[in-house]
Amino acid sequence: MMFAQIGCPTKAETHNREPDVSRILYELCGAEAERCFSPFAWRARMALLHKGLEFERRPTPFTSIARIAPEAGKTVPILVDGDRTICDSWAIACHLEDAYPDRPSLFGGDGGHAAAKLIESWANAAISSRIVQMIVKDIHDILAPEDQAYFRASREPRLGKTLEAAQEGREDRLADLATALLPMHLMLKSQPFIGGAAPMHTDYLLFGTLQWARVASPFSLIDPESPIGQWFERCLDLYDGHARAVKAA
Ligand SMILES: N[C@@H](CCC(=O)N[C@@H](CS)C(=O)NCC(=O)O)C(=O)O
């Protein structure tokens, strides 16, 4: 089995439990442990699958993240790989590439690594920033009550408005999202993946962002018949349909 998944850690568990496998990926979950939706955790999970590495998943609610490994960081994903604890999805991908050079490459060399940084910046600054305003109340609604209170209190000041107000009128913003995705749409005329004939970490960067929306929100952002919709379906099929197996909202 490629990965194992167990329930959200309690305080005692995060401190005392011995790992069952040498790699543990801490992810963000909603009220249901299966509903792991963090775009960054999806990037890390796809990178582990790409490398063909076994790992155990630990779905973690927002209000338990600080207990995972406070010395490493306060966000998920966090990967524990043997004696290394790595916080940050980009750092995790870089670690996997360096630590497992004989496994399929995530970046395809220095040039690919450098270009992937552009894709990460684009996915975060141009795509995630738009999508969050379209799904933020839906994210709130899939969280457990304690997390809901934390999420509202931390996100509304950042947004400068209520979660409800942020999401209002989202249908009118779909054309703007499509414009931001245009570089991807044009690229797909000549190749099936950002990585070329096969996916690479560049694909997982945008995939994580769109999988975040798929798992957290019933609002349809992309036409499944469009070139980007078809690419997304191809990504859902990877690794025996691993990402597709996670329930859509
Ligand atoms: N740059 C980080 C960002 C990670 C991040 O922001 N994760 C969010 C979940 S999507 C988080 O853990 N937030 C904790 C919080 O808001 O308290 C990465 O790429 O891993």
The pLDDT tens digits for 112-122 are 999 999 999 99
Residue nearest to atom 20 of ligand 1 (CA): 88
Is the minimum distance from the CB of 204 to ligand 1 under 6 angstroms?
no
| b/e sequence 173-197, b meaning 16+ C-beta within 10 Å | ebeebeeebeebeeebeeebbbbee
Is the pLDDT at 232 greater than 90, yes or no? yes
Give pLDDT, residue 5: 45
Give pLDDT, residue 249: 95
Is the pLDDT at 240 greater than 60, yes or no? yes
Is the pLDDT at 186 greater than 80, yes or no? yes
Residue nearest to atom 12 of ligand 1 (CA): 75
For residue 154, the CA-to-ligand 1 centroid distance in Å is 13
Enumerate the domain spans of the chain.
3-99, 110-241
Give pLDDT, residue 14: 41
Q: Give the rounded percent of residues in the chain with a pLDDT score beyond 90.
A: 91
110-241, CATH topology level? Glutathione S-transferase Yfyf (Class Pi); Chain A, domain 2 (1.20.1050)
For residue 49, the CA-to-ligand 1 centroid distance in Å is 20
Is the minimum distance from the CB of 211 to ligand 1 under 6 angstroms?
no
Where are the alpha helices (H) located in 70-200, listed in sequence order? 89-99, 110-122, 129-142, 145-159, 163-167, 174-180, 182-187
Region 12-28: mean pLDDT is 67
Give pLDDT, residue 95: 98
Give pLDDT, residue 17: 46
Give pLDDT, residue 12: 40
Is the minimum distance from the CB of 65 to ligand 1 under 6 angstroms?
yes
Is the minimum distance from the CB of 68 to ligand 1 under 6 angstroms?
no
Is the pLDDT at 167 greater than 80, yes or no? yes
For residue 27, the CA-to-ligand 1 centroid distance in Å is 10
Is the pLDDT at 78 greater than 70, yes or no? yes
Counting atoms of ligand 1 from 1, which one is nearest the CA of 90?
A: 19
Confirm if 75 and 65 have CB atoms less than 8 A apart. yes
Is the pLDDT at 74 greater than 70, yes or no? yes
Counting atoms of ligand 1 from 1, which one is nearest the CA of 88?
A: 20
**Token digits for 71?**
């010395």
Give pLDDT, residue 7: 40
Confidence of residue 196 (pLDDT cuts 50, 70, 90): very high
Region 137-166: mean pLDDT is 98
Give pLDDT, residue 80: 98
Exposed / middle / buried, residue 71 (Cβ in 10 Å: 0-12, 13-18, 19+): exposed
Give me the CATH code for the 3-99 domain, please: 3.40.30.10
Cα angle 4, 34, 122; round to 5: 95
The span from the CA of 85 to the CA of 97, in Å, is 15
Is the minimum distance from the CB of 89 to ligand 1 under 6 angstroms?
yes
Residue nearest to atom 14 of ligand 1 (CA): 75
Give pLDDT, residue 3: 46
The span from the CA of 85 to the CA of 171, in Å, is 41
Give pLDDT, residue 239: 98
Question: What φ, ψ does residue 243 adopt, rounded to 5°?
Answer: -75, -30
For residue 101, the CA-to-ligand 1 centroid distance in Å is 27
Residue among 205, 63, 80, 213 nearest 136 (CA):
213
